[in-house]
Amino acid sequence: MKVIKVENQVEGGKVAFEILKEKLANGAQTLGLATGSSPLEFYKEIVESDLDFSNLTSVNLDEYVGLDGDNPQSYRHFMQEHLFNQKPFKESFLPRGIKDNAEEEVERYNQILADHPVDLQILGIGRNGHIGFNEPGTAFDSQTHLVDLDQSTIEANARFFDKIEDVPTQAISMGIKNILDAKSIILFAYGESKAEAIAGTVSGPVTENLPASSLQNHPDVTIIADAEALSLLEK
């Protein structure tokens, strides 16, 4: 596991972009994408570049259940706004957050992931160490599944909604096994609130209580983080 310390998210986005270019030069076809604030500067680098993504495929980690893709709070909308509208891919897959047929959607998405193995997976990390929406206690061999979100996750995501009652309580997420199946992984972590999770991810025991600790079992993980997120590692 490689840890790269950066000044801020802007520098983190540039570092990740260089890794992306290297992976594309080596034939990467499918990118696994994440939402949230952590990858935004990385997406900005992509949008401002002259790279052509029209032959590439993307798969996203997760989507809220109960929000359709037109909802401004949905992750599909987020991806359209920050990346896809400016840099269209050949195909871009996200789970569909339809409440009534979540089970069918889980199966459909697992098949998509089987058909499109991920070359480079982008991750953020939750305060509780979640990757995707794999909350503490999720089995490391899990595939795409319906998730009941932790209260801490709901509270962390409330800033994107008018009121906390509007935050969905469920999501469809790639499982930890799906994430670990990617050939290469970049994880972004910024800010003091992520310090404990990062310390456990890098040097703590590998335990289902900290989902991101599963990354210790992967051969090609790069963590891009600022001093605050790394503060408990360096003591």
Enumerate the active-site residues.
62, 128, 130, 135
The Cα–Cα gap between 176 and 217 comes to 11
What's the sign of the alpha-carbon dihedral 162, 165, 170, 175?
positive
Judge contact between 123 and 1, C-beta under 8 A.
no
Query: Residues 6 or more apart from 12 whose CB is under 8 A from it?
Result: 6, 41, 42, 188, 190, 224, 225, 226
- Residue 216 DSSP code: G
Question: What type of residue is 134?
Answer: N
Closest CA to 147 of 156, 157, 137: 137
Cα angle for residues 89, 94, 100 (degrees, 5° grid): 150
